[in-house]
């Protein structure tokens, strides 16, 4: 029965723009990166690895399935991002000295990340 559910989750569809959003979410944890939130640039030492995007997408597929939907929505990505990223982001000395938590930083970047990628110049 569990194996059936595992196979079912892999069949949940995810649109390209939703998958891109998950990738940008992970890239936004990288200090100095194209999508980095200002707080990340100031307080994060190490951002999440590419496997974080895989974890977010898989968790979002599970969430969509549990909610009876055959496709992943942006809200699924947002809802699973914190638990998927909190242990994959490391604060720098300044962030720790300020008393920040990775949860605070990740929540801020989830709220700030635009739904659409910026257009190339």
Give domain 2-112's CATH superfamily: Magnesium chelatase subunit I, C-Terminal domain (1.10.8.80)
Q: Residues 35, 29: contact at Cβ < 8 Å?
A: no
pLDDT of residue 120: 57
pLDDT of residue 27: 96
pLDDT of residue 71: 96
- Model confidence over 93-121: pLDDT tens digits? 999 999 999 999 999 999 999 988 776 55
pLDDT of residue 117: 75
DSSP, residue by residue, 19-46: HHHHHHHHHTTSTTSTT--HHHHHHEEE
- List, for the chain, all residue ranges whose pLDDT scores fall below the cut of 50: none
- Using CA atoms, how far residue 75 sits from 17, 49, 98, 110, in Å, is 13, 22, 30, 11
Strand partners, 91: 44
Domain boundaries, given as residue ranges, for the chain:
2-112
């Amino acid at each position: 029965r569990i194996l059936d559910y595992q196979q079912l989750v892999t069949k949940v569809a995810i649109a390209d723009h939703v998958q891109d959003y998950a990738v940008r979410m992970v890239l936004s944890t990288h200090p100095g990166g194209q999508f980095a939130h200002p707080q990340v640039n100031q307080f994060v030492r190490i951002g999440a690895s590419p496997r974080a995007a895989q974890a977010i997408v898989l968790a979002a597929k599970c969430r969509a399935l549990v909610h009876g939907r055959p496709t992943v929505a942006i809200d699924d990505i947002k809802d699973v991002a914190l638990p998927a990223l909190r242990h994959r982001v490391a604060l720098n000395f300044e962030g720790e000295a300020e008393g920040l938590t990775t949860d605070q930083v990740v929540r801020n970047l989830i709220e700030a990340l635009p739904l659409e990628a910026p257009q190339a110049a």
